[in-house]
Amino acid sequence: MKTAILFISLCLFQLLIGCGSKTSPADLVIWGGKIYTVNDSQPEVEAVAVTGDKITFAGSEEEVRKFVGNNTQVINLDGQVMLPGFIEGHGHFMGVGYNELNLDLMYVKSYDELIEKVKEAAEKAQPGQWILGRGWHQDKWDTKPDKMIKGFQTHHKLSEVSPNNPVFLRHASGHAAMANAKAMEVAGVNQLSKEIIQDISEDGGEIIRDELGNPTGIFNERAMGLVSRFIPDDEEGRDAQALELAIQACWRNGITSFHDAGVSRENIDLFRSFKEQGKLGVRLYVMLTGWDHDLIHEWFKRGPEIDQENLLTIRSVKLNCDGALGSRGAWLLEPYTDRPDFYGMATYPMDTVLSVSRLALKSGFQVCAHAIGDRANHEILNRYEIAIGENPAIKDHRFRIEHAQHLHPNDIPRFGKLGVIPAMQAIHMSSDRPWAIERLGEKRIKEGAYMWQSLLKSGAIIVNGTDAPVEPVNPIPSFYASVSRKTLEGEPEGGYEPEERMTREQALRSYTLDAAYGAFEEKIKGSIEKGKLADFVVLNQDIMQGDEQDILKAEVSMTIFGGKVVYTKKN
């Protein structure tokens, strides 16, 4: 009798175990290709299962078959490669969209080509309508204008082709702009007094003037506001159009999350509206613009907003502390090699950097300070060090420096020591390095520019990106620049300062898991493992192996966001 009871009990136990281990069908199963997880304990898997917007399994193709039910969508990669969805670590989301609505000047090769684009736009525009654009970069033109002042062209040709329409064209860096005579007339700055010019210069801006003191049409840094404030606000829902275009651009490029570097309260309202309508198809990590002091102090009182739907999180502040190398606005310790009387400029008070950092630490906010020049980086690190030292109980601040492009050698180890994240854009090295040496000279370039490997060795965690629309939002060229240290034409042989290049594994982490870390989100995204968000990108070829130059041939075949296919490349 006892034996029979024991036998029955054992059978019941085994039945219960069997019931408990039964696997529910997944909504989505993906197999048939190489899957890089960015998970150190399981670097590659054969298959992934997804339920809802979360990963429920990552492992072998044989094991994943138990997740396939009658209603399970199965995607066969057909030998392609899948990665965690790319995370754009520093960009300007609305700028990406507006770059498609306005004149895109990123690829013009000369001033004359730019003029022709403006002429075509002026012929289609209504009288008085503003013509806007962005992307020109005088140091990337094949031919330079005959007349240049302080390294920039003058407005005269621009004014000739658009006499009745104000024109405002932002430099690729976003740190300078060119205006025509009509725009300067509307803004009342055609006949600037030297007193006004001096005030602007002291306030972190510069109006480039000719030998007679007349404005050339180039407005550097904060001086841009003299003209840009006259540009009409959102017309005919263009903000919503731009947002929709930005989301689609991200999908085409395999980007599922985006760190938006400096947004206004109006941007936040628009993002919230899209989220409520179910249209916000990219996970946004928002940095409040430091230009709006009321905005950041309102949020410091309110506290961070960590979105439970993982779509719109607000817990950081962006401070624009200097300019760019292209416009000679980056703040340097020594003068520019190609303009020996000029050091660039601070565009945000360092005392305010310190006070904001102190308040941010106490309010649970991250500070992300833009710094390109070595002096800007040095001064910000000093302020961070003071604020962090005053708050020893806060161990996980994850303060960032956006760009960290040119550093004094003594400041490189400080990133790791202080736990400051360098949010860098590798593509800037590829596009800027050929002419940046004219700005800084060989010694400063070799000792302190684009120091990725040195920063990694200091213990710092690098967040990668493109700074779109400064550069195209496509992560592939930035990944290529990370591992090659070459231009997109494959020059020079061996790369610029090759000892500073990243490994392919480091580069991929900088665009996925480490980028997630830069937003306090490494536990929910950035790698392919059970429990994390089901955000993936499928590439038509393997960027982790093979010839270096072939990386640039890789294209996004599919983007999966929260377990849903949102983009498929048409053949």
CA dihedral 150, 153, 154, 157 (to 10 degrees): 170
Q: Regarding beta strands 73-76 and 28-36, do their DSSP bridges make them parallel or antiparallel, or are they unpaired? A: parallel
- pLDDT the model gives residue 139: 86
- CA angle, 530 then 532 then 537, to 5°: 105
- Tell me: do 133 and 38 sit in the same domain: no
Q: Is the pLDDT of residue 16 over 50?
A: no
* 135 and 30 fall within a common domain: no
User: pLDDT tens for residues 487-534?
Assistant: 999 999 999 999 999 999 999 999 999 999 999 999 999 999 999 999
> Is residue 314 domain-resident?
no
- Please classify residue 563 by burial: count the beta carbons closer than 10 Å to its beta carbon, then call 0-12 exposed, 13-18 middle and 19+ buried: buried
Edge-to-edge strands, sheet with 205-209: 103-104, 131-136, 167-171, 176-179, 215-221, 205-209
Across the range 312-336, mean pLDDT stands at 96
pLDDT of residue 498: 97
Nearest CA among 323, 320, 400 for reference residue 360: 400
Question: Which phi and psi angles does 337 have, rounded to 5°?
Answer: -65, -35
Pairing of strands 536-539, 556-561: antiparallel
Tell me the pairing of strands 312-320 and 421-423: unpaired
137 & 210 share domain: yes
Which of 178, 203, 228 delimits the end of a domain?
A: 228
Of 228, 247, 263, the last residue of a domain is 228
Q: Which amino acid is at 337?
A: T
**Where does the pLDDT of residue 8 fall: very low under 50, low under 70, confident under 90, or very high at 90 and above?**
very low
Angle at 422 between CA 421 and CA 425, to 5 degrees: 140
What pLDDT, on a 0 to 100 scale, did the predictor assign at position 231? Answer: 87
Least confident of 4-18, 22-36, 284-298, 542-556: 4-18
Instruction: Provide Rg for the chain, Cα atoms.
Output: 26
- Structure confidence by residue, pLDDT tens digits, 70-114: 999 999 999 999 999 999 999 999 999 988 888 888 889 999 999
Task: Give the span between the Cα atoms of 476 and 326, in whole angstroms.
Answer: 23
Please check the confidence at residue 27 and state whether its pLDDT lies above 80: yes
User: What domain range is 202 assigned to?
Assistant: 95-228
Are 100 and 216 in a shared domain? yes
For residue 498, whether the previous peptide bond is cis, meaning omega lies within 30 degrees of 0, is no
Residues 123 and 146 both lie in one domain:
yes
In a domain, 470, yes or no: no
Q: Is there a single domain that holds both residue 137 and residue 219?
A: yes
**pLDDT class of 9 with cuts at 50, 70, 90:** very low
Minimal CA–CA distance to 479: which of 96, 30, 39, 36? Answer: 36
- Give the per-residue pLDDT at 6: 43
* Residue 84 main-chain phi, psi, to 5 deg: -60, 150
How many Cβ atoms are within 10 Å of 335's Cβ, its own excluded? 13
- Indicate the residue type of 296: I
Residue 102 included in any domain: yes
* Number of C-beta neighbours around residue 23 at 10 A: 15
Q: Are residues 108 and 190 in the same domain?
A: yes
Q: In this structure, are 224 and 158 located in the same domain?
A: yes
Give the domain CATH number at 43: 2.30.40.10
Q: In the chain, how many domains are there?
A: 2
Residue 400: is its pLDDT beyond 70? Answer: yes
Could you tell me if 370 and 319 are in contact, meaning their C-beta atoms sit under 8 angstroms apart? yes
**pLDDT for res 318:** 98
**In a shared domain, residues 146 and 216:** yes
Judge if 533 and 561 occupy the same domain: yes
Contacts (Cβ under 8 Å, ≥6 apart) of 368: 261, 287, 316, 317, 318, 319, 399, 400, 401, 402, 423
Q: What is the pLDDT of residue 22?
A: 66
Please tell me whether residues 122 and 53 are part of one structural domain: no
In a domain, 208, yes or no: yes
For the chain, give the percent of residues with pLDDT over 90. 79
Give me the pLDDT at residue 538, please.
98
Q: What CATH number corresponds to the domain at position 153?
A: 3.10.310.70
Residues 125 and 175 in one domain: yes
Using CA atoms, how far apart are residues 376 and 369, in angstroms rounded to an integer? 9
Average pLDDT over residues 336-344: 95
Residue 203: per-residue pLDDT = 63
Say whether pLDDT at 298 is over 90: yes
Q: Backbone phi, then psi, for 158, in 5-degree steps? A: -60, -45
Give the pLDDT confidence score for residue 103 in this predicted structure.
86
437-493 tens-digit pLDDT: 999 999 999 999 999 999 999 999 999 999 999 999 999 999 999 999 999 999 999
SS3 label, residue 421: strand
Residue 236's contacts (CB-CB under 8 Å, 6 or more residues apart) are: none
Which pair of structure tokens corresponds to residue 337? Answer: 């090699």
Domain-located, residue 395: no
Residue type, 431: S
Which pLDDT score is estimated for 372?
Answer: 97
What is the C-alpha separation between 200 and 213, in angstroms, rounded?
Answer: 14
What is the average pLDDT score of the chain? 92
**Model confidence, pTM:** 0.85
Res 362 pLDDT > 60:
yes
Q: How many angstroms separate the CA atoms of 140 and 428, rounded?
A: 13
Residue 474 and residue 555: Cα distance in Å, rounded?
A: 10
Please state the length of the chain.
571
379 beta partners: none
181 occurs within a structural domain: yes
Q: Is residue 556 situated within a structural domain?
A: yes
SS3 at position 256: strand
Can you tell me the distance from the alpha carbon of 535 to that of 565, in angstroms, rounded to the nearest whole number? 9
Given pLDDT bands bounded at 50, 70 and 90, which one contains residue 204? confident
What is the predicted pLDDT for the residue at 101?
83
Kindly tell me if the per-residue pLDDT of 432 is higher than 60: yes
A 10 A CB-CB count for 63 gives: 15
Q: How confident is the model at residue 192 (pLDDT cuts 50, 70, 90)?
A: low
Last residue in a domain, options 228, 254, 274: 228
90-125: b (≥16 Cβ within 10 Å) or e: bbbbbbbbbbeebbbbbebeebeebbebbeebbeeb
pLDDT of residue 369 exceeding 70? yes
CB of 207 within 8 A of CB of 227? no
Residues 189-195: contacts with CB within 8 Å, 24+ apart? 189/215, 189/226, 189/227, 190/215
Question: For residue range 126-177, what is the model confidence (pLDDT) as tens digits?
Answer: 888 898 988 888 988 988 898 899 889 999 999 999 999 999 999 988 889 9
The answer, yes or no, to whether residue 326 has pLDDT greater than 50, is yes
Is 106 part of any domain? yes
Model confidence at 561: pLDDT above 50 = yes
